[in-house]
């Protein structure tokens, strides 16, 4: 039994070593939190939603169309998505966000706000923020949209049911 405990101790230290080494796929040092703290502006679009985001130095308060973030997006998933560029750069509680968003549904609006926040952070301090935001994919516009309905079909691709006789 003593040999088994020694082997497990060796395995634990190997696992710890593996966890401390990072590959190119991990965001080990994504944000250093050393970005400039100054006002910034960004526009984001996703599906039919358009968001105008203004970041000002503050305490981390969110205002979305006159409501708090928790009131406007009751889903924690969407709250996390909207706040993800700030969390990635380790700039929590350093900016107040004032957002005006219109069009689309809640998912499209959350995606639009995320892009707007990322663009605003990129505009504030390009040297410190751009690499991490770009690597995480936050500066890329998601171009997917609803495909249009075609003539002779029920929906975009749904054909009428075939009847042999």
Instruction: Say if residue 19's pLDDT is above 80.
Output: no
Instruction: Say if residue 156's pLDDT is above 80.
Output: yes
Mean pLDDT calculated for residue range 100-125: 95
Q: How much of the chain exceeds pLDDT 90, in percent?
A: 69
Instruction: Say if residue 111's pLDDT is above 90.
Output: yes
Q: How much of the chain exceeds pLDDT 70, in percent?
A: 79
Instruction: Say if residue 39's pLDDT is above 80.
Output: yes
**Fold classified for 40-136:** Ribosomal Protein S5; domain 2 (3.30.230)
Instruction: Say if residue 48's pLDDT is above 90.
Output: yes
pLDDT attached to residue 3: 53
Lowest mean pLDDT, pick from 15-19, 120-124, 146-150: 15-19
Give me the torsion for CA of 25, 36, 71, 49, rounded to 10°. Answer: -70
Q: Strand order of the sheet with strand 62-64?
A: 40-46, 49-57, 95-102, 62-64
Instruction: Say if residue 53's pLDDT is above 80.
Output: yes
Lowest mean pLDDT, pick from 6-20, 47-61, 75-89: 6-20
Mean pLDDT calculated for residue range 126-151: 93
Domain boundaries of the chain, sorted by first residue: 40-136
pLDDT attached to residue 5: 53
DSSP state of 164: -
Closest to 125 measured CA to CA, from 42, 50, 36, 56: 36
pLDDT attached to residue 125: 85
Cα–Cα distance measured from residue 18 to residue 114, given in angstroms and rounded to the nearest whole number: 32
């Amino acid at each position: 039994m003593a040999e088994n405990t020694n082997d497990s101790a060796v395995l634990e230290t190997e696992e710890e070593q593996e966890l401390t080494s990072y590959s190119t796929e991990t965001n080990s040092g994504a944000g250093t939190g050393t970005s400039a703290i100054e006002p910034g502006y960004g526009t984001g679009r996703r599906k039919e939603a358009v968001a105008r985001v203004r970041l000002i130095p503050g305490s981390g308060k969110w205002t979305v169309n006159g409501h708090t973030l928790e009131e406007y997006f009751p889903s924690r998933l969407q709250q996390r998505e909207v706040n993800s560029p700030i969390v990635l750069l380790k700039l929590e509680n350093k900016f107040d966000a004032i957002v005006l968003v219109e069009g689309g549904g809640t998912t499209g609006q959350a995606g639009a706000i995320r892009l707007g926040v990322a663009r605003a952070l990129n505009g504030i301090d390009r040297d410190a923020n751009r690499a991490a935001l770009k690597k995480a994919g936050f500066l890329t516009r998601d171009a997917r949209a609803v495909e249009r309905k075609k003539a002779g079909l029920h929906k975009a691709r749904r054909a009428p049911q075939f009847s042999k006789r």
